[in-house]
Amino acid sequence: MSPKEDAIAFKQKGNAAFASHDWPKAIDFYSQAIELDDKDPSFYCNRAQAQIKLESYGYAIADATKAIELDESYVKAYYRRAVANTAILKSREALKDFKTVVKKEPNNKDARLRLADCEKSVRRVEFLRAIEVEDPPSAFEGLDIDSIAVDAAYDGVNLENEMTQKFIDNMIKRFKDGKQIHRKYVYQIISAVWKIVYDEPTMVEFEVEKGHTLTVCGDTHGQFYDLLEIFRLNGFPTESHHYLFNGDFVDRGSWSTEVALLLYAYKWLYPKAFFLNRGNHETDDMNRVYGFEGECKAKYTERVFKLFSESFSALPLATLIGKQYFVLHGGLFSDDKISLDDIRNLNRHSQRQPGQQGLMMEMLWTDPQTTPGRGPSKRGVGLQFGPDVTKRFCDANGLKAIIRSHEVRMEGYEVEHGGRCVTVFSAPRYCDATENKGAYINIRPDLKLNFHKFNAVPHPDIKPM
């Protein structure tokens, strides 16, 4: 066959991999097609769609842009570039492309809907910017929980002044039955945990004692039934079985409030044995786009979202395990001079949202790359760091490795950078669209990493909000 025919064959293999939800394999096949024929815009456009599925939005924008350069009339490429820009909250850039799609295909109903949504998003951003105040009052100010009555018709376990396992067990049952807990108890849980985590250091430092286990989990993203599967397989939290959830508890899944409330309830029950790091989805702008704000309003009240938002901004950004494993949601930094002491000294309370640059943003957003040095982010936000960056950071700070989350891994976890960078992701069959496993890591006093993989479990057919 000619190179062009071989390229088409690779594209067809990529399409088959895409159809089976194996996004990395699809990208590999499309890339091989491009190597043989770099003038066919469909190869770039198809790869852009697979990059979108992997949340590599920066790469998707680059591929869609290349497809447009090769064929300015390629409507699908404009659409995919718009979708990718929307995903990284660049609504104005997306708006231009959605308008182009609608102009070229006026009968495209999906594009017209996306355009309308994008226009609303731009207006909302402008409105929020117009009413933004430099130092907003606390959402907890004026919250009189004691004055809220729980009516006699409420059929759940009552929550007094302390969290109990009995309440948690009943809460889990209620959530599985499609019920909520009373609004008063939601306020109590968030308020109690906010006070606990606010007083924790920016980097929690933890030793695994004899006879104890620490389980590190990655993103759970509102996948409540898969969270319960972790506890079923690995044991529920206790005073001697510690858990660390490494951010991104909410958004995308259909049960973000349930996941957040369950994790918060255990944090309240075991404040010195259950730990939560902040992820890039524990932020206002992501919650507005990816569902958590809407879910809070639909299931409870707008104030519930505001309380969660303020509590998210109080969460620690990292955990140091046994002085050997540095755990944070995203990854390493743009500057080799950053040390663990810089993390210890970072005042996270002075900056509620991570913004587009700086130490907090990098801790929540960066990703590893296979090549040395640093590079632009495949997401379009943050940066990427190579194995040499990881080695220098670990060596300078006396670490065995960093443990991070933030990215789907088809086997649930991946060890890279010569064993110094570990990614763990705990949302199997992510978004009901990616055929990945979930994973968690058990760490005992010997500080060896014991990896466990698990599959997604069935759940009610309820779409995310």
Instruction: Give catalytic residue positions.
Output: 281
CA dihedral 402, 404, 407, 413 (to 10 degrees): 70
How is residue 282 annotated by DSSP?
Answer: S
Contacts 24+ apart (CB under 8 A), 101-108: 101/75, 104/73, 104/75, 104/78, 105/75
End-to-end CA distance of the chain: 49
Question: What is the rounded distance in angstroms from the CA atom of residue 438 to the CA atom of residue 387?
Answer: 24
Question: What is the rounded distance in angstroms from the CA atom of residue 49 to the CA atom of residue 56?
Answer: 10
Which residue reads 């919250």 in tokens? 143
CB burial string 151-186: b at 16+ within 10 A, e below = eeeeebbebeeebeeebbebbbebbeeeebbbbbbb
Q: How far is CA 358 from CA 169, 366, 379, 390, 396, in A?
A: 41, 11, 17, 18, 21
How is residue 175 annotated by DSSP?
Answer: H
Query: For residue 169, what is the enclosing H or E element?
Result: helix 165-176
Question: What is the rounded distance in angstroms from the CA atom of residue 300 to the CA atom of residue 308?
Answer: 12
